[in-house]
Each structure stands twice: as C-alpha cells, then as structure tokens.
Structure 1
Amino acid sequence: MAEIAGKEVESEYWLVPPHRLDLTRACDLLEEIVRVFGLDGIPSRFRGPFVAESAVDLAYNFQMGLRRKLAALGFYETQTIKLIASESADGAIAQVKDALPVRPLQEGDIIRVALPLSEDHSVLRPAHTPGLIAAAVRNSNQGASVLRFFELGRVFRNTGGGKGRDIETDTLGILIAGDRSPRSWAAPRPEQSSFEDLLAVMEVLAPGHSFTLTPARPREQAALGADVQLDGKACGYFARLSLSRCRELGLDKPVYVAELDLRKMQEILTAPVKAADLPQFPGSSRDAAMELPLSTPNADIVKAIEAAREKLLVSYSCFDVFTDPSGQKLPADRKSIAYTFLYRDPAKTLTAAEVDAAHQRVLKSLTDKVKGLSFR
C-alpha cells in the first residue's frame, strides 16, 4: 500500500476495468492518479527553479495594470473578434487615415481574407475603433446611458500599399460617450462626457507623464482628430465621431475614441524613474495673460515655452481660458489664455530682478514663435 495526499492506494497490483482499453502502460496509471487526486494534491520532490521574467511576462503585467486602472474608472472591457466587415474597415480608414502611431493607413494596407466565412468577417481589423463603436451602439440600444469601453489586443495592417509586409501591433482602444455619471436622485441630469474626460483618463494611465495632442485634419467620419504624443513621442491618435455618423448609428450623443500603442507606452512608463532632492530654496511665480487667435492650439504655446530653454523655469500650467462668441468683451475669432510660471534656482534664493529677467525671456519666446500672440 502507498499513501498519496493522505489516502491509501494500491501500489503493487492494479485492476484495470475491461472498458478502459487506454490503460496499457505505467504512465497511464500515473495520469489516472493525477486526474483523481489533482495535481495540487500530489507532493513534489523537487522545488521549482527560478525563472526570470520574460518580455511576455512584463508585457502581460503592464497590460493587466492598465486593465485594473480602467476598470476602477468605470470602464468595461470588450473582447471583439479580430475579423470585421469591409464597411467597418473602410470606416476605420476614414477615421484614422492620417493619425496612426506608425504610419498613415492607406487603402492597400487593409488585410483582406482570401476565403472569408461571411461578409461580416472578411477583413482583419486595422484598429479597435470599429469594434468599440459597435459595442457602444449595442449598449445604447439596450438603454445604457454611460458608455465607457476599452479593449487591448492586436491590430493588423500591411505597409507599402499592400506590397510590403504585414504589421501586427498591440494597441489600447478607449471609447467614452453618453452621461458622465449614472443618473440618480443626486444627479437627475448628468453632464455629457467630453473630450476633457477622455484626456483625463489617459493621464490617469500615465501618472507623472504628459500627453500632448496635436490637431490633425479630420477624416470623413470624424469631426475632430489629433495625434497623441506621450512625453514628446508619437503614441497614438484621438478622434471624435462626426454627428452625422452618430445619427446613422442611432447614437444621440458625441463619441470620443483614442487608440494608443501599447509597446511605446510600456517603454515610456516602465523606464527607470529619476528622483530629485527636495528644493532647499523657495521659488517665485509669475502669471501671464495672452490673447491669440482662436484656432491656435495649446501645443504651439507649450512648444514656444520649451523652446525658450529657460534654466530657472521649473513648471508652468494653464489656469484660465476665456472666449466671447458675441464679440463684446473679446473678438469672436480670438481667445485669452492665462498661464502661471514657477521659477527657482537650486543653489540660491532668486531676487525679483532675476525672476523678472527669466520671465521676460520666456515671454519673448512666446511672442516670436506663436503667430498673432499679444499680452494683455
């Protein structure tokens, strides 16, 4: 007799039932023991060897971290099929043709299945956008008022107009639409989700890093489009679905989508963090109110500030934006933006004259590099 997992089993002779013709070897009997008692119930004679984390393990852990953050923000993960209809692929081309993280998407870049099972599964998805929009439409038809979805997975496309090689990229797709929060007695009419909500979600995924949106020419089915940069590196795209397309899909609310390159995000967000000592000397701040054309993107202001390369400038942020469509207080084609700037020297306490001189150098860079800018 032998004891396995606290139970006695016969070890010398085994009676094999006549209907179990598959039990012909000793290893077959061992498999039966594992099946009955369970692998966890059989003690091991050897310790498991240590294996260092592989690139696959690191990518899995990084993506699971993104999933947990998005779920905590009220998003639901979708798992759509990688094969989509040709019409959906054409829509994806229209939306993201000029704003993919690697290169623009062209008609020849779509990978079509040679022998599709149906017309709805004839193309490999070039982006998560078609699947996320389809999920939003289904949930909206079922009465959902808060639409927040994301999907992590692989997208497929060709390069060189169909004459190059296929590219498989892991990306994160995010969709936000509808009410900002569920309706309740405290909020019978919640505010609608906006572009700022999607940008805030992206910033939560990358704490300590900055996202920059550069306007891009919107395509046929997109009213707004922008290239997304993470710490100055191209990382994806943002788009708002046009209202006409929303009406075609039966959606009575704006739809915002973003797609981010997971490999580039992992490279940036998992890089070693450099810590600095706490400042020993106080800083001094200055404010500046700028008037400039309404069409000027905020990215131009940021680039002009960075171009100044002012060593004493520690941080800056926008704290006010004012526009007047009526044109009474401000021309309708212009806007007023107010920034605050913080200056500090790590080796001494700055004098007012030194702070003013550094501030003037930053303002001069803004005046030289941003067209139509004036200070109020």
Structure 2
Amino acid sequence: MRINTGWLRDYLSEDCKESELLDAFMTVGLEVEEEHDLAQALESIRVGFIREKKPVGDDGQYFECLVEIEKGKLVTILCASAHPVEIGWGVPVAIPGTKLPSGALISEGKFKGIRSEGMICLDGELGMIAKSTGLQVFKDEAALGESLPSVSPFQESLVEVSVLPNRPDCLGMIGIAREVAAVLDMQLKYPSQRVIQPAAGQSESVAVEIDDASLCSRYACQVFDGVQVRSSPHWLQSRLQTAGLRPINNVVDITNFVMLEWGQPLHAFDFDSLKGNRIEVRRIRQDEKLKLLDETEVDGAEQPLVIADAEKPIALAGIMGGWNSQTTAGSKRILLEAACFDPVCIRTSSRKLRISTDSSYRFERGTDPNDMLSGAFNRAAELLQDAELSAAKPASAITDSYPNVRERTKFSLDSGRFSKLLGAEISDEQIKDCLSKLEMTADADLTISVPTWRVDVNNEVVLAEDVARLLRYDSIVMKPMVATTTKGRVSETDSLRTNVATFLTSNGFLECRTPPLTTEQVALSFSQWPGDSIQVQNPISKEMTTLRQSLVGSLVEVTERNARRGASSFRFFEIDRTFRQNDDVIDERWMIGGVLGGYVNDSAWIASEKEFDFLHAKGLVENLFAHISVDDITFEKDTPAKGYRGEEFAALKHGDQRIGALGRIDLNELGIKDRARVPLYGFELDLSALVQVKSPARMFSGLARTQVIARDISILVPIDLRYAEIETSLEKAFASAVENLQVEPRKESDVAVVLQPKLENVICVDTFTGESIGADAMSLTIRMMFRDEAHTLTSGEAQQLMDYVVKQLNAEHGAVQR
C-alpha cells in the first residue's frame, strides 16, 4: 500500500516533524518496504518553460510543446489536454531516464508520429498532493533549469508499506492514522460526515434480499439523482495518483477515494440500467453470464457470489462491477452500495476466476460491517452531494440489510497478568490510557470492549502487545527472567524416532522431507490400513490435491527424480505423518517409510556386485527391529497394497497386530516410467505400534566363558516351504534335543555334568535350486550357533544335537540331509 504523508496529515489533529511521522510507522507494526523523501526523490525534476505549443490532430486531446529545460536547450514533449498548459509557463519536467517515486521510468518514445523527449508532470504523478490546480506553474524565468524542490519547497514522503494479513483495518488511511495518532499522542481527526436524508417526497427505497447471510453479513445502498458525471477536481485526482490508481470520472473516483480513506470498498451502479428496483445477493445461476468492467465474461461454472437486479447479475460481488451497469458520462441516477462479504468466499472466487482487484484484496482480509462500512458509506454519500464534485441529491431512503449484527468482543483484563507478560509494572490506568487511544472502551473493572475492525484481537495477549508498543518497547526496563528450571526429557516416541533415523542414516540412507499433499493416485498407493482419502477443498495445484496415506509414494517420486538425473543407487527414508478418514474420525499416524534399490555396496568396484533383492531388504528391516529392541516380528504372506508386486510382498506383524509392510514396488502400476532400472523395495512401519511392542531395555550380561559352537546342516526341502516355518521348527527341535542330550563324562570331574546349551543364532548361509535336485526342491545350508555357559560341548554332544534337529525336520517337513 502506497501512502503519501501529506495526505495522512489530514487525519491528525496536530502537525509533527516528518521524521517523527516516519518513525511512527515502525512502531505501528507496518512493514516499510520503500521510503521516498520527495524533497530528495524529485531532485531530478527540472523547471522547464514552454516556448511553443501546437495541437496534434483534430480532436484537441494532445499538444506538441517545445520546452526549454535549460538555457538554450529545447526539447519536444507531447502532452495531453487533461490539464491546460500555456506558452510562457514554467512547469515540472522529467527527462528520459528519470525514475519517479512511484516507480515509473520516463523514456523517450514516439506517439502520433511525434518523438516525445520527456514528460510534463502533474503533482499526483510526482507522488505529491495537488497544489492549487494540480500542475505547478512558475512565471519567474530565474527558475529555468532549477530542480523542483529548490523553487517549491515541500514536506512530503511517499511510503510503500506491507500491511500484515491480520490487520485489514490498516488498509485505509484512517486506520493507519488511528495507529500513528496513538503512537504520537495525538487525536484522530475523522473527515466530516453528514447524516444523509432522502429528498422531500422521495422516501421509496430499493429492496435488498441476501440469500445467505454467512456470505454477505451486511448490504447498504441508496439512490442518488441529478448526478453530473465529469472529471474530478485536482485535489481528488492527485490523491488517487499517489496511491497508484488512475482517475476515471468523479463518481468512480469518489468510491475509490473513500476505499483508500476507510479501507471499505464501495461501488456505484447506473441505476437506470437496473431492473425491478431490487437488489439480490446470491450465487450466479448455471445459465447466467456476466460481462465485467474489464470485458471478461463470467459464467455459472464456478458459482461465484454476484450482485443481481430482479432479472440478471450486475456485478461480481466484492471483486468487480459489471459492464452493463457501470457509471458513464450519460448516467443521471446512481445506486451507491457498501457491503461486507465473507473473506473465504471472495478469496475462492478471485482465485478460481483469476481476477484480483483492490476491492477483492481488502475483502479477502476481512472488512468491518459496523463503523468502517457506515463511515465509508456516509462519507461517499456526502462527497456525491458536494457541488464541486457531483451535486447529486438523495432520491431514496437508505436500505440497510444487516440480519445478524456483529457485536464488539469484550475481555476482562488484569494489570498483574499484563505486568508478568511484559516484564514491567503496568497499572490499570496505563492499560486504559493506551487502549483508549485505539478507540477501545474500558469499564471500571477493566473490561475492554474491542471495535469490530480489530479482527486480530482474539485474546488478551494481543492487547498486551498493543499496550507495550504504545508505551514503547524501549521504555520497558530489561530484567532477567524469573522461572523455575525443569529437567528436560525426551518422550518415548521422540527417542524411537531418533534411534530409527540414526540406524538408517548409518546404513547409507538419506532422510527426506516431502509435502503431505500429493496427487490422488500417489496418495492412495501403498496404503496398508483402511480409510478414505482426504481431499483439499482449495488445492494450490493439481499435484497437491490429496493428503497422503503412505510415505512410500512420496519417496518413490523422490527416487524417480534422482534417477532422472543419473543416480543408480537409492536409499531414502522419511519419518512423518499420514492421514486417512474412517467415518467421521481422522486417522493421523506417525510412520517410518523407506525406499531402497541398486547395489548393496554402492562403492564397490566389482562389476558383479549384488543388487538389493527382497531378502536384503528383509534383512535390513530385521536389523532395524533388533536395533530398536522390537522382538517377535513375523513376515507373513498377504494381499499386497496398491503399488507393490504380489510375488514379493510381506505383511509385518507382532502377534495379530499389523506393524507394517515390505515389498517390491511396481512402477507400472503407478504409471511412473522406470528410470531407476533396478528393482526398488519399499517398507513402511507404524511408529506408534512400535512404541507399544518395543521390548524393555536390555540388561548387560557378562562375556561368555565358553566358546560358541557353529555347525552347518544342508537339507533338501520342498520349494514352496516358507523359511520362517523351518526356522521355528529348528528352534523347537533344538530345545527337545537338549532335553534328550546324553552327556559324555569329563575326565577333569568326577561329578556328573549337567548341560543346558542355548541356541544363540540361526543363519541361512546358502540356497540352491537346479535340475540336479529337482524342480520342486530347494537346498538350504543353515548355520546354527550355540553354547553352554558353564561347559564346552564335545564334538559328540554337538553332533547329537545336530542329528536330532535333522531328524525332527525330516519328520515335520520331509527335509532330507544332503
């Protein structure tokens, strides 16, 4: 928002130094993006004298002027007839290459066949409030070639500020002046407002119907007759130009001026173009069309909110007026409107239709249906009746449809609470004094009533901040914080997250952070738990429409992008939330997701180095479980989730509880081109479930006194027999073998030895299939590692255990020792 400080001073009860005024902007909380002291910024503007003038064309709209900008140097400048110029006048001239405070760059150009070498500048174009006629004229030839500030001193600045989204009350000059006046301890000077009454005998009013009060909380309008549509006076045009708006005609300029003054958008319809003496605020119908002021056409596809008469839409509510109802030079009667629309509704329509205006910008952030709307409406009505502007007369009563009045919010404050928040002693009187400067009222018990234009005040802390900035932050004495120190601790979930991340990064994985929003196809892929997808009502792009139900889909996209850039090995993981909806409940889960593929050792120089397969991926997940102390996890065959291949997929369970899944990724199912060119495997684990099944912390045990014994057995088993069943049977058989073990006597001891060997580890060290053993069989070499903690087993005792295990495997599964 661009602010001229000369205009801002109109609303302050006292004058002040320009430096004080500019410093106040920072205390108000506005973000000052650019600041131009016009006395310095206009140094390059020179006073040039018009030596010749002749019309261009027959319409009399343009003149070719020969202007002397310094002694003996003449330039040709083409100027419009919007403001008269005469031979012998000294006028402000900007030569090519000059950059005006508004950001406009003056350049040399050819127009209507004439090369123009500069620009004769009006006050508004220079960022100044108009002096007299809006064009500064000098008669003293001694000013020739002098800079404008040296011959016409002025004290104004042009400030570009960014208004925070939660402060829509500062989108008008009065709102900013209110804050500045409070900081500088002045009074806010409101513009004069007269109570508008209809003309004698003209009590009829326009009927207003609001279909949905949640979309339009208030709508006020009044008809004015005898309107004289013409150019605005220079004082009004210059104010619009300093704010970056183009003057159009007096009626439109009045509505724009009041919008900049109060922050409340207004609109004026040509009343004679309306039908039925009736206004409707409703959604546009499917069969209706509306041509806007910029000549674009809106249909019923997006169902935006419109203003309609008894027959048709006449304006796009809160955004832009209609072409057929605009105020023109021939308009004699106008309908002035002021309304308050729902910010979300206006924002949605503006985005969908890709139309953004100064009005929509303000409505999207929220306008005040009370004082701001009433003040702006009455101010515009007064200006329309001004003889200098339009000399219109009221032709109807005011129609004010306000079904649900918005009341002021009240807060019961406590000076003790404020003192703790601000770290300084704050009294009741200080609180009342500061907040009253912002037009808040306080009762004797310090109950504060907040005006409805302050949409940001949602708790007492905001009011404490208002008090602090009006007392000035630098006036609050710094004190050390008084607080009781507490011992920090990490939750079990956070600890598990850290352990998982440590393990995976130490195994060559890179941690990713991907957006929770993705396409619907990817969002539904790899999901292991039931639930409906959650769609975003107003997505920012077609690639971010749905909340993901699995992390693996996002990691596959990361893998695909890396493969597209030449990567050949992939190890990515992410720990984040997934979302799904079950009936009316949102299921939000913390998950661990991973994708891996490529060489097992990606730094190996051997060309035949192995690539990741399902067993490698399974082993990595098992090692992860061992690292985080999660035991008794089984890998069971199950129907694969979308995105996994059926022949290489396993559900991970702890008893009957599902923990996660592991499987080979099917890129064809996802419609993604396989740029990786290696098998990809994905796993996903439920973090909250892991916390529940996690084993207690393990106790330290001393080093074993005896040596571990390792024995291999090679067996033929049916090819469709699951290895997990073999390992389970092997463990049971070993336990039975220990019970039936015949202990050999020890020479060093006369006492009978009792042996209780324990099976410490079982590893499948080799597999083989081929014609030599038959198509339906598979050869496994399994290494068993066991020991007795008190005695070393003899070779005979170890062989007894192995023979018993093989016998039991043969009995249960038909395993044959090779």
Equivalent residue of 2:775, what SS? coil
Does 1:172 find its partner at 2:592?
yes
Does 1:44 find its partner at 2:483?
no
Query: Are the counterparts in 1 of residues 727 and 762 from structure 2 also a CA contact under 8 Å?
Result: no
How far apart, in 2, do the equivalents of 1:83 and 1:124 lie?
5
Equivalent residue of 1:249, what SS? coil
Tell me the residue number matched to 1:97.
none
Q: 1:66-113, CA deviations, whole angstroms, 9 ceiling, x for partnerless residues?
A: 3233333332222222223222244335xxxxxx4xxxx34xx12332
Seen in structure 2, the aligned counterparts of structure 1 residues 242 and 281 have a Cα distance that, compared at 3 Å, is same
How far apart, in 1, do the equivalents of 2:505 and 2:786 lie?
38
Unaligned runs of 5+ in 2: 1-19, 29-178, 184-433, 435-465, 736-755
Seen in structure 2, the aligned counterparts of structure 1 residues 170 and 309 have a Cα distance that, compared at 3 Å, is farther
Q: 1:289-339, CA deviations, whole angstroms, 9 ceiling, x for partnerless residues?
A: 1111222221111221233471633223235323233x0x22133111122
How far apart, in 1, do the equivalents of 2:662 and 2:757 lie?
34
Higher alpha-carbon deviation: 286-295 or 341-350: 341-350
Tell me the residue number matched to 1:324.
769
Query: Are the counterparts in 2 of residues 307 and 365 from structure 1 also a CA contact under 8 Å?
Result: no
Query: Are the counterparts in 2 of residues 82 and 124 from structure 1 also a CA contact under 8 Å?
Result: yes
Query: Structure 2: which amino acid aligns with 1:305?
Result: L
Tell me the residue number matched to 1:312.
757
Residue among 472, 484, 489 paired with 1:53? 489
Tell me the residue number matched to 1:297.
722
Query: Structure 2: which amino acid aligns with 1:236?
Result: G
How far apart, in 2, do the equivalents of 1:125 and 1:356 lie?
55
How far apart, in 2, do the equivalents of 1:365 and 1:31 lie?
86
Tell me the residue number matched to 2:700.
275
Tell me the residue number matched to 1:7.
none
Higher alpha-carbon deviation: 205-214 or 148-157: 205-214
Query: Are the counterparts in 1 of residues 525 and 550 from structure 2 also a CA contact under 8 Å?
Result: no
| C-alpha deviation, 1:201, in angstroms | 3.6
Seen in structure 2, the aligned counterparts of structure 1 residues 365 and 233 have a Cα distance that, compared at 3 Å, is farther
Equivalent residue of 1:250, what SS? coil
How far apart, in 2, do the equivalents of 1:146 and 1:337 lie?
30
How far apart, in 1, do the equivalents of 2:486 and 2:670 lie?
53
Tell me the residue number matched to 2:152.
none
Query: Structure 1: which amino acid aligns with 2:596?
Result: I
| C-alpha deviation, 1:206, in angstroms | 4.0
How far apart, in 2, do the equivalents of 1:352 and 1:187 lie?
39
| C-alpha deviation, 1:265, in angstroms | 3.2
Tell me the residue number matched to 2:407.
none
Does 1:257 find its partner at 2:682?
yes
Query: Are the counterparts in 2 of residues 238 and 258 from structure 1 also a CA contact under 8 Å?
Result: yes
Does 1:375 find its partner at 2:817?
yes
Tell me the residue number matched to 1:125.
548
How far apart, in 2, do the equivalents of 1:322 and 1:167 lie?
43
Query: Are the counterparts in 1 of residues 635 and 653 from structure 2 also a CA contact under 8 Å?
Result: yes
Equivalent residue of 1:295, what SS? coil
Residue among 779, 785, 795 paired with 1:342? 785
How far apart, in 1, do the equivalents of 2:732 and 2:510 lie?
41
How far apart, in 2, do the equivalents of 1:248 and 1:181 lie?
26
Seen in structure 2, the aligned counterparts of structure 1 residues 324 and 207 have a Cα distance that, compared at 3 Å, is closer
Query: Are the counterparts in 2 of residues 128 and 151 from structure 1 also a CA contact under 8 Å?
Result: yes
Equivalent residue of 2:774, what SS? coil
| C-alpha deviation, 1:59, in angstroms | 2.3
How far apart, in 2, do the equivalents of 1:230 and 1:351 lie?
38
Aligned pairs for 1:1-376 (under 5 A) are 18-19=24-25, 20-21=27-28, 27-28=468-469, 32=473, 44=480, 46=482, 48-53=484-489, 55=491, 58-93=492-527, 100=528, 105-106=529-530, 109-113=531-535, 115-117=537-539, 119-158=542-581, 162-163=582-583, 165-180=585-600, 186=605, 191-207=610-626, 212-218=634-640, 221-223=643-645, 224-229=648-653, 234-242=658-666, 244-245=668-669, 248-251=672-675, 252-267=677-692, 271-308=696-733, 310=735, 312-325=757-770, 327=771, 329-350=772-793, 354-369=797-812, 371-376=813-818
Tell me the residue number matched to 1:6.
none
| C-alpha deviation, 1:173, in angstroms | 0.4
Seen in structure 2, the aligned counterparts of structure 1 residues 232 and 356 have a Cα distance that, compared at 3 Å, is farther
Equivalent residue of 1:69, what SS? helix
Seen in structure 2, the aligned counterparts of structure 1 residues 306 and 124 have a Cα distance that, compared at 3 Å, is farther
Query: Structure 1: which amino acid aligns with 2:816?
Result: S
Query: Structure 1: which amino acid aligns with 2:651?
Result: D
| C-alpha deviation, 1:362, in angstroms | 3.4
Q: Which of 1 and 2 has greater Rg?
A: 2
Equivalent residue of 2:681, what SS? strand
Seen in structure 2, the aligned counterparts of structure 1 residues 201 and 28 have a Cα distance that, compared at 3 Å, is farther
Equivalent residue of 2:773, what SS? coil
Seen in structure 2, the aligned counterparts of structure 1 residues 143 and 355 have a Cα distance that, compared at 3 Å, is closer
Seen in structure 2, the aligned counterparts of structure 1 residues 374 and 183 have a Cα distance that, compared at 3 Å, is closer
Query: Are the counterparts in 2 of residues 321 and 335 from structure 1 also a CA contact under 8 Å?
Result: no
How far apart, in 2, do the equivalents of 1:362 and 1:341 lie?
10
Query: Structure 2: which amino acid aligns with 1:330?
Result: I
> TM-score scaled by structure 2?
0.36
Query: Are the counterparts in 2 of residues 146 and 181 from structure 1 also a CA contact under 8 Å?
Result: no
Query: Are the counterparts in 1 of residues 522 and 670 from structure 2 also a CA contact under 8 Å?
Result: no
Query: Are the counterparts in 2 of residues 171 and 260 from structure 1 also a CA contact under 8 Å?
Result: yes
| C-alpha deviation, 1:190, in angstroms | 5.8
| C-alpha deviation, 1:280, in angstroms | 3.4
How far apart, in 2, do the equivalents of 1:90 and 1:77 lie?
22
Query: Structure 1: which amino acid aligns with 2:501?
Result: R
Please provide the CA RMSD for this pair.
3.9
Query: Are the counterparts in 1 of residues 765 and 783 from structure 2 also a CA contact under 8 Å?
Result: no
Tell me the residue number matched to 1:4.
none
Tell me the residue number matched to 2:288.
none
Q: Which has the higher contact order (CA 8 A, sep 6+)?
A: 1
How far apart, in 2, do the equivalents of 1:44 and 1:204 lie?
49
Query: Are the counterparts in 1 of residues 764 and 782 from structure 2 also a CA contact under 8 Å?
Result: yes
Seen in structure 2, the aligned counterparts of structure 1 residues 233 and 360 have a Cα distance that, compared at 3 Å, is farther
Q: 1:270-292, CA deviations, whole angstroms, 9 ceiling, x for partnerless residues?
A: 72112333333445444321111
Seen in structure 2, the aligned counterparts of structure 1 residues 156 and 364 have a Cα distance that, compared at 3 Å, is farther
> Matched residues, percent identical?
20
Query: Are the counterparts in 2 of residues 62 and 266 from structure 1 also a CA contact under 8 Å?
Result: yes
Tell me the residue number matched to 1:8.
none
